[in-house]
Amino acid sequence: MQIDFVLKNTHTKGSDIKEFLEDKTRKIEKYFDGKLHAKWTISYEHEEHISHLHVTGNHIELFGEAKEHNLYTSIEEAIDKVERQLVKQKEILKDHHRT
């Protein structure tokens, strides 16, 4: 699993947020059999934290974005959006093979 992260215009330290991002990204690792590449972009605009997650792996490309006043809440919402997409994708593949 490869995790990249970019902090834009934020007031937080990268070392503090890096551990939290790695922990939350491990939550979706169970859905991938092979390689997983996750790219986080955290920015602060108009008094809101914007968390953008781009995940690629197993021929799947997913995006999740959330805007919140709290940084950690926005990260959790972005990972939840990607996880919902993964569950839906896996159900589609499973139902497709049941004909």
Go through the chain and tell me how many residues it has: 99
Is 16 a residue whose pLDDT tops 70? yes
pLDDT tens column, 38-66 = 999 999 999 999 999 999 988 889 999 99
CATH number at residue 60: 3.30.160.100
- The stretch 25-43 carries a mean pLDDT of 88
How does residue 97 score in pLDDT terms, banded at 50, 70 and 90? low
Count of structural domains, the chain? 1
List Cβ neighbours of 25 (8 Å cut-off, separation of 6 or more).
1, 3, 38, 40, 79
Q: Rounded to whole angstroms, how far apart are CA atoms 85 and 15? A: 29
* Domain assignment of residue 45, given as a range: 2-96
Is 30 a residue whose pLDDT tops 70? yes
65 in Cβ contact with 50 (< 8 Å)? yes
